[in-house]
Amino acid sequence: MVDSVLRLDQVLIPEDAPIRFGTDGWRGIIGAEFTFNRLLRAAKAAAAVLHHTYGKDAEPRIIVGYDRRFLAEQFAAAVAQLLISQGYEVWLSSCAAPTPAFSWAVKAAGAIGGLVITASHNPAIYAGLKVKGAFGGSVPTTVTQTIEAQLAQGDPPLVREAKTDYQVFDPWPSYCAALRSHVDLAPLREAIATGKLQVCADVMHGVAAGGLERLLEVPIQELRRDRDPLFGGGAPEPIGRYLAATQEQLRQQQSTIPTVCLVFDGDADRLAVIDGEGVLYTAQEIIPILIDHLAQHSPYRGAVIKSISSSDLVARVAAHHGLPVIETPIGFKYIGDRMLAGETILLGGEESGGIGYGHHIPERDAFLSALYLLQALVTSGLSVGEYYQHLQKMTNFYSVYDRLDLTLASSAQRQKLATTLAEHPFT
């Protein structure tokens, strides 16, 4: 049974109901909020705004990608067909791939933007649309607000005479080459081949399947690598609620080799880690390790961006290395905005697992984070737990973290909560 129960107010959605974009795109229940007609309306408006914002003097090229969810490739193909009828040059992915791979493709191909069919880590009943700008990341709030305004105004005009067809491309080769340019993979391959480190991946039935093998070019054990649009009845989110079976499996293996299992969410832009003893490490532990490693063993420098919900150990480790810290509201879009503000950024990370790098693209990228984490472990000779404990001792900062997700019964309750928090903020 899928862990989502539908209510009448979720199912009885008029086709002309407003489409609203959240922190990273528009998401809705398949067949209710998210239908072909509503998606094509949103795609047409988004393409027009991308063209106006990023492509007035450029080739109106748009990347279209998708994840492994129900009907994802059909939704993407419908978007591609619509866009060529509007005169856009369209590159449609030949396969499901990570959202950051499509963001990279936008930048690498000189496109005006990208439309990605994905609901990221949401339960199986959801589909979604993420809009990427020409710079290779999620468009800012001002752009999504303009898309909503365009939707209210009706159909935009054609950009030029209709194209005859779209181009099909594989996003993986260029994306993998970009990641390899940042990380020396030879020591990682050697550590795996000689038994110094055992690496596996839980891809949670998502688009990360096969990704580590492509990058490292060595066999990698993968859990839940098959495509399952129901995600085993849960959601492809790398949190304890959905990882108990993987944790138990690692505990039972009782490997004598240091083990790390990299956990990817549904569209591979968020990361968690489980060690050989079945202990789960979230971004709260991963981000400080990455900062310490990159500050010592990479050519990159710059400020560290943290969301307000991220551990203060992030700031302590950054300060230890003399790196300035920028704090933002919750949501990676705020981190991405700061990355585009002209400052030199080492990395930006949020509590939920999204981590991006100023020397890459202003986008969460779980695969690049995974490679950097493996590099940190191989270089230091420490396990994830040992490295984290070392940082706690180094900064004399110890903390406990937990997360509790609560489901609100209705949008009215959500608005009531938002109003209460605005009128009576926490001190």
- Position 381 pLDDT exceeds 50: yes
Q: What pTM did the predictor assign?
A: 0.93
- Using alpha carbons, select from 372, 373, 354, 351 the residue that is nearest to residue 363: 354
- CA–CA distance, 237 with 247 (Å, rounded to integer): 14
In the numeric block, which tokens belong to residue 346?
A: 């080492």
pLDDT in tens, 248-287: 999 998 888 899 999 999 999 999 999 999 999 999 999 9
Q: Mind listing the domains of the chain with CATH numbers?
A: 8-173 (3.40.120.10), 182-395 (3.40.120.10)
What is the rounded average pLDDT of the residues 346-356?
A: 94
CB neighbourhood size of 190 (10 A): 13
Average pLDDT over residues 357-377: 97
Q: Does 2 have pLDDT greater than 70? A: no
Mean pLDDT of the chain: 93
The model's confidence at residue 13, banded by pLDDT at 50, 70 and 90, is confident
Q: Give a three-class secondary structure readout of 325-372.
A: EEEECCCHHHHHHHHCCCCCEEEEECCCCCEEECCCCCCCCHHHHHHH
